[in-house]
């Protein structure tokens, strides 16, 4: 999660919401890194998770990321939760809960939906206070 927090700091430097993500391979090696790049790329799909998943898939040369773990500072949205399922990730680890658009238990629970063909293990709340504080600081600075 500390590596994901470092990625989140990179997003904040380019005035995007500070969310960071890391994809770890089965042996714990970093296969992909990402931070929100929606503003810089003018791309609504450039969420940290999507950027990290794309980097890992490119590095492995395949779209199936079985055996891999995604670590992200904020509970994924519906788009990212769907991508996690489609990528066949073994595990999702996230920090702060997103009560406004979270799709891993807050508003929806896409990754645990029994109607889908894949359900990764979910580990929630890792460094949740620290991950949440990064976001609260960012948004309070934008408001005031």
Annotated active-site positions, please?
A: 49
Residue 122: which residues within 8 A CB-CB, separation 6 or more?
91, 92, 93, 94, 104, 105, 111, 112
In the 8-state DSSP scheme, what is residue 35? Answer: E
35 marked among binding-site residues? no
* 80 known ligand binder: yes
68 is in an annotated binding site: no
Please answer whether residues 95 and 128 qualify as being in contact, where contact means their C-beta atoms are separated by less than 8 angstroms: yes
Token representation of residue 76: 């994924």
Binding site residues for Zn(2+), as ranges? 47, 77, 80
For the annotated binding site, the residues are 47, 77, 80
């Amino acid at each position: 999660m500390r590596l994901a927090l470092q990625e989140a700091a990179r997003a904040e430097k380019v005035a995007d919401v500070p969310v960071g993500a890391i994809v770890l391979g089965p042996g714990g090696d970093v296969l992909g890194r990402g931070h929100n790049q929606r503003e810089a790329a003018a791309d609504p799909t450039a969420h940290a998770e999507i950027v990290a998943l794309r980097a890992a898939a490119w590095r492995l040369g395949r779209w199936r990321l079985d055996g891999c773990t995604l670590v992200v500072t904020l509970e994924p949205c519906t788009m990212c939760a769907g991508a996690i399922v489609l990528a066949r990730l073994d595990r999702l680890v996230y920090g702060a809960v997103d009560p406004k658009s979270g799709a891993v238990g807050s508003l929806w629970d896409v990754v645990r939906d029994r109607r889908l063909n894949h359900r990764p293990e979910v580990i929630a709340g890792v460094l949740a206070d620290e991950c949440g504080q990064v976001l609260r600081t960012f948004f309070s600075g934008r408001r005031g």
